[in-house]
Amino acid sequence: MTDKVAKLVIGDQTHEFPVMSGSVGPDVIDIRTLYAKTGMFTYDPGFTSTAACDSAITYIDGDKGELLYRGYPIDQLSEKSSYVEVCYLLLYGELPNKTQLAEFDKVVSRHTMVHEQMHYFYRGFRRDAHPMAIMTGVVGAMAAFYHDSTDISDSRQREIASIRMIAKMPTIAAMAYKYSVGQPFVYPRNDLDYASNFLHMCFSVPAEEYKVNPTIAKAMDLIFTLHADHEQNASTSTVRLAGSSDANPFACIAAGVACLWGPAHGGANEAALNMLKEIGTVDRIPEFIARAKDKSDPFKLMGFGHRVYKNFDPRATVMQKTAKEVLDLLGVHDNPTLQVAQALEKIALEDPYFIERKLYPNVDFYSGIILEAIGFPTSMFTVLFSVARTVGWISQWKEMIGDPQKKIGRPRQLYNGAPARDYIPVDKR
Ligand code: CMC
């Protein structure tokens, strides 16, 4: 709390509200007593000006293009850390020492297998089901398999559920992929690191040996790190809202997966690559730029724009560099999709429409190019995002459950429907 107060004048009445300060970032006006004092609510669709919680996990300064996990800048973490270390950091608040990291790595590895009965669950889906549909169903179904970690009032159970989610998401995701291509499920290998194990479960087959390329594994690990958390985005807020009713953690994460699927959120990486392919060649870019600017056309440049970043998305900078590295490593030169992406970025960034609206490439603009080069079909892109974001969701969920201020999430509304009226029997209508 600060000494500052915010004054709200309604007619001849002045109401005062305390102003709260965080450790960094804008102050917030504490309006919890607004309704009691004024009989009014605030109106903020899309929560553009509303802080819905108090959090110490991730900080974004959209104007500076800054993203911090527990205070550490994303560019430092992506260069020097690993995804598993970032998971520890997000979950527990501090970087682990060597022993803590080794222990955490071991615990996560020990939970990578899924209940054998879950294999049958997959068979209920059509082979051509979108893997995100499978993910939503299977993650929700975890609550039916792991009863001993659904009591949210028990901190030990919350801890086990968190580790289970982080450890099993790659297995569940790889199984969704294997099911879609008609290949046998591959069991996890605990001698491999997190990203290598995931690639192994996706791309190895019983008929021949599969060696994970360390540079590809590093790129995969980096993609996971860049997507690990992003404060109160739509899917994280969904997880928090679901969790606010004391729903079990698996149900909450399934809600997050469902929200992430949308093309305005995690589905944008799939949509961005599809768009780059549809554009196809550099000479067709002006046509698509014109469509993006035309308000009568619903088309948007996918992978462009962000609710919070209004300067640049620091994740996109790392992603662009990695895209080039991965393509070079794989010997893919003159990749037409990368050429279109680079030219599109340049043209859009010089166009007044995009400059005025502060629209920049976001994390999803280049990630699809890397994932396609690694060998993933576009339908798997959002699935990979959900694997990476699981630690963010679960960390935010744990923080909320432990917060003494926790309340069931219950927004209000501006009602615009019919006022009270009497029922008319059907023969009189
Ligand atoms: N192409 C063309 N115009 C755009 C775009 C775009 N990609 N994004 C925003 N605009 C325009 C929008 O039409 C509006 O114009 P005007 O002021 O003339 O009405 C203005 O820019 C402000 O946009 P907004 O829709 O009010 O911004 P928002 O904060 O509500 O939406 C967004 C943010 C990310 C949903 C939006 O930029 C978008 O749909 N981008 C494409 C989808 C995408 O790449 N999403 C991934 C986001 S990053 C990863 C993640 O969060 O999952």
pLDDT digits (tens, 9 = 90+) for 287-309: 999 999 999 999 999 999 998 89
Tokens in use for 310?
């209004």
Answer yes or no: 306 catalytic: yes
Distances from the Cα of 406 to the Cαs of 205, 239, 241, in angstroms?
47, 14, 11
DSSP of 355-405: HHTT--B-HHHHHHHHHHHHT--GGGHHHHHHHHHHHHHHHHHHHHHT-TT
Answer yes or no: 111 catalytic: no
Sign of the dihedral defined by the CA atoms of residues 62, 66, 69, 75, in that order: positive
What confidence score (pLDDT) does residue 336 get?
A: 87
Among candidate residues 128, 306, 334, 403, the one labeled active-site is: 306
Report which protein residue has its CA nearest ligand 1's atom 35: 264
CB-based contacts of 30: which residues, under 8 Å, 6+ apart?
A: 1, 17, 18, 19, 20
Residue with tokens 């608040």: 93
Spacing of C-alpha 395 from chain mean position: 13
Ligand 1 pocket, residues with Cβ under 6 angstroms: 233, 264-266, 268, 292, 300-307, 357, 359, 362-364
Report which protein residue has its CA nearest ligand 1's atom 31: 307
CB under 8 A, 24+ apart: contacts of 36-41: 38/8, 38/10, 38/13, 40/10, 41/412, 41/413, 41/414
Ligand 1 mutation pick, 269, 274, 304, max ligand atoms within 8 A of CB? 304
Report which protein residue has its CA nearest ligand 1's atom 19: 295
Closest atom of ligand 1 relative to the 300 alpha carbon: 1
Percent of the chain at pLDDT above 90? 83
What confidence score (pLDDT) does residue 335 get?
A: 81
pTM of the model: 0.92
Among candidate residues 364, 403, 422, 427, the one labeled active-site is: 364
- Specify burial of residue 271 (Cβ count, 10 A radius: 0-12, 13-18, 19+): buried
| 360 close to 304: Cβ distance less than 8 angstroms | yes
CA distance 98 to 393: 25
Distances from the Cα of 363 to the Cαs of 270, 274, 300, 343, in angstroms?
12, 15, 16, 17
CA distance 293 to 48: 23
Instruction: Tell me if residue 6 falls in helix, strand or coil.
Output: strand
| 308 close to 62: Cβ distance less than 8 angstroms | yes
CA distance 60 to 66: 6
What confidence score (pLDDT) does residue 301 get?
A: 94
| 200 close to 210: Cβ distance less than 8 angstroms | yes
Q: What is the mean pLDDT of residues 299-321?
A: 90
* Amino acid at the residue 73: P
Report which protein residue has its CA nearest ligand 1's atom 10: 305
Q: What is the mean pLDDT of residues 377-388?
A: 95
* Amino acid at the residue 426: V
What's the mean pLDDT when you consider all of the chain? Answer: 94
Per-residue pLDDT tens digits for 104-157:
999 999 999 999 999 999 999 999 999 999 999 999 999 999 988 899 999 999
Report which protein residue has its CA nearest ligand 1's atom 52: 265
Q: Work out the pLDDT band at 1, boundaries 50, 70, 90.
A: low
What confidence score (pLDDT) does residue 148 get?
A: 87
CB-based contacts of 359: which residues, under 8 Å, 6+ apart?
A: 301, 304, 305, 348, 353
Ligand 1 mutation pick, 47, 362, 384, 386, max ligand atoms within 8 A of CB? 362
Closest CA to 274 of 337, 332, 219, 325: 337
Closest atom of ligand 1 relative to the 292 alpha carbon: 2
Spacing of C-alpha 252 from chain mean position: 14
Q: Work out the pLDDT band at 334, boundaries 50, 70, 90.
A: confident
Closest atom of ligand 1 relative to the 357 alpha carbon: 21
